[in-house]
């Protein structure tokens, strides 16, 4: 079970890093350099989507590492 979970985590990290690299260094600059209004809108929308995915991933990692209610005082 641990090997399957580790494999999925590593695969997810690899896909996220590959997608981030492609967006920041290849697709995003290509859209901005074209300069057409539609391409600039696509670049803006893509950057917003990338930021939302990153934010969601960070929230997921934080909630997994420290589940809700872990800071509550124990019942006496």
pLDDT at 46: 96
**What's the pTM?**
0.76
**Does 49 map to a domain?**
yes
Q: How many domains does the chain have?
A: 1
Per the structure, the complete domain to which residue 45 belongs is given by: 16-63
**Does 11 map to a domain?**
no
pLDDT at 70: 61
Whether 32 and 43 have beta carbons less than 8 Å apart is answered as yes
Reported as a single tens digit per residue, the pLDDT across 29-74 is: 999 999 999 999 999 999 999 999 999 999 988 888 876 666 656 5
pLDDT at 68: 67
């Amino acid at each position: 079970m641990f090997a399957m979970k580790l494999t999925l985590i590593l695969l997810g990290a690899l896909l996220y890093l590959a997608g981030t690299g492609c967006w920041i260094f290849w697709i995003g600059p290509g859209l901005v350099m074209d300069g057409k209004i539609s391409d600039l809108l696509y670049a803006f929308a893509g950057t917003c989507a990338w930021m939302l995915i990153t934010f969601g991933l960070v929230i997921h990692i934080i909630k997994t590492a420290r589940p809700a209610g872990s800071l509550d005082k124990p019942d006496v």
